């Protein structure tokens, strides 16, 4: 009996050693700094997705989250610097506008880990995450063309910059893949970072497009997109959301949303930090990595028929199989952008 008990205890002890040796330790309670751009956590789009990923990690991984929202671009660098100076092991910067600040501060604080969303830098302590926006835009472009009765669709971007041109090129290609004769009207909200939170201007542009015969508008413009949704509701037209699933914002008026899974990206980066397996470098994510898609739920199910769903899923499959080559605006540029 005693011998059996000793054997059982020894067996358990060896198993415990084995588990400790091969399992990845989780560091609960680490501090994570999240710096959002001017769009803020309430943009129901890009920043909201990042904030969701971080708060999910706070609940599930037990981290201590500190979030800052900058009212202007000038305050971005001081916010990041404060996190680093206070010893936060992980700092997450959301938005291409923070690229230069991250590069500078990551150089000054080489032992701090950074995550940069939507731009790249060469610092080895920075995990730069960018997305193949043109792929997801192609999908919603195809859906827009299938839903359009006027054979006119619209695109309203935030700023006229390479990244948003990439959205536009993919969207137009997707629409013309389904309807070669379709017309695509394009506008941009503004030329400064305020373009991401100017819903009144976006609404004005949307109303103009709708009055010109457009019946579906795709709007990668951050919080400004909410103005387009208002216009769609007012005139009983359709809009396409971006970054987050925005179908719920105006049920029955949001045809679909182009999902850019920033929330998953942020959560995974935090999880890596808690497991002490953080890796720097550049990660370019697309449909193949599950980072881009279109949304379908109870809020837009009535707008997308089973036949439309079948066609867009076939398109997605053909993109994965490289039967469809989605045009990429970056490849038309002489120099690839390091900051989008």
Give me the phi and psi of 230, to 5 degrees please. Answer: -60, -40
Query: Which domains, ranges and CATH numbers included, belong to the chain?
Result: 31-131+263-285 (3.40.50.2300), 133-260+289-332 (3.40.50.2300)
Chain-wide mean pLDDT for the chain? 91
**Pair of tokens at residue 183:** 């017309």
User: In angstroms, rounded to a whole number, what is the distance separating the alpha carbons of residues 240 and 236?
Assistant: 14
**Per-residue CA distances from 166 to 2, 33, 64, 188, 225 (Å):** 72, 30, 36, 13, 17
Mean pLDDT of 33-37: 95
Per-residue model confidence as pLDDT tens digits over 77-99 = 999 999 999 999 999 999 999 99
Q: List the one residue out of 217, 76, 163, 176 whose CA is nearest residue 337.
A: 163
**14 pLDDT more than 70:** no
- Judge if pTM exceeds 0.75: yes
pLDDT score recorded for residue 336? 60
pLDDT of residue 9: 36
Q: What is the pLDDT of residue 19?
A: 42
Residue 337: the pLDDT is 65
In this prediction, residue 28 carries a pLDDT of 66
Is residue 26 over pLDDT 90? Answer: no
pLDDT at 71 (0 to 100): 75
28-41 mean pLDDT: 90
Residue among 2, 18, 29 nearest 270 (CA): 29
User: What is the DSSP annotation of 196-247?
Assistant: GG-HHHHHHHHHHHHHTT--EEE---GGGHHHHHHHHHHHT-EEEEEES--T
Query: Is residue 2's pLDDT more than 50?
Result: no
Q: What is the pLDDT of residue 5?
A: 39
pLDDT digits (tens, 9 = 90+) for 202-260: 999 999 999 999 999 999 999 999 999 999 999 999 999 999 999 999 999 999 999 99
What pLDDT band is residue 70 in, cutting at 50, 70 and 90?
confident
Flag whether pLDDT at 72 surpasses 80.
no
Do the strands 292-294 and 254-260 form a parallel or antiparallel pair, or are they unpaired?
Answer: antiparallel
């Amino acid at each position: 009996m005693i011998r059996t008990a000793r054997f059982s205890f020894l067996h358990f002890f060896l198993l415990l050693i084995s588990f400790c040796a091969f399992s990845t330790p989780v560091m609960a309670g680490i501090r994570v700094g999240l710096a959002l751009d001017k769009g803020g956590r309430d943009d129901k789009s890009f920043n909201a997705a990042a904030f969701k990923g971080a708060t999910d990690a706070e609940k599930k991984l037990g981290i201590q989250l500190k979030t800052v929202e900058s009212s202007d671009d000038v305050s971005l660098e001081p916010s990041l610097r404060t996190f680093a100076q206070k010893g936060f092991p992980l700092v997450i910067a959301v938005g291409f506008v923070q690229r230069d600040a991250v590069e500078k501060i990551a150089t000054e604080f080489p032992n701090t880990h950074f995550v940069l969303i939507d731009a790249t830098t060469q610092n080895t302590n920075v995990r730069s995450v960018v997305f193949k926006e043109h792929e997801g835009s192609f999908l919603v472009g195809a859906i827009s063309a299938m839903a359009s009765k006027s054979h006119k669709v619209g695109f309203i971007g935030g700023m006229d910059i390479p990244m948003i041109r990439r959205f536009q090129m993919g969207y137009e290609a997707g629409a013309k893949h389904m309807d070669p004769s379709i017309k695509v009207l394009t506008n941009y909200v503004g030329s400064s970072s305020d373009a991401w939170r100017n819903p009144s201007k976006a609404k004005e542009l949307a109303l103009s497009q709708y009055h010109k015969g457009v019946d579906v508008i795709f709007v990668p413009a951050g919080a400004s997109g909410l103005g387009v949704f208002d216009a769609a509701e007012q005139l009983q037209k359709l809009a396409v959301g971006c970054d987050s699933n925005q179908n719920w914002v105006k049920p029955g008026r949001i045809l679909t949303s182009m999902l850019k899974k920033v929330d998953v990206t942020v959560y995974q980066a935090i999880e890596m930090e808690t497991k002490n397996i953080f890796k720097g470098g550049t990660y370019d994510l697309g449909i193949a990595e599950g980072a881009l898609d279109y949304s379908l739920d109870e809020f837009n199910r009535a707008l997308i028929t089973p036949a439309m769903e079948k066609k867009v899923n076939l398109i997605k499959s053909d993109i994965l199989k490289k039967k469809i080559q989605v045009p990429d605006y970056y490849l038309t540029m002489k120099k690839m952008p390091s900051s989008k």
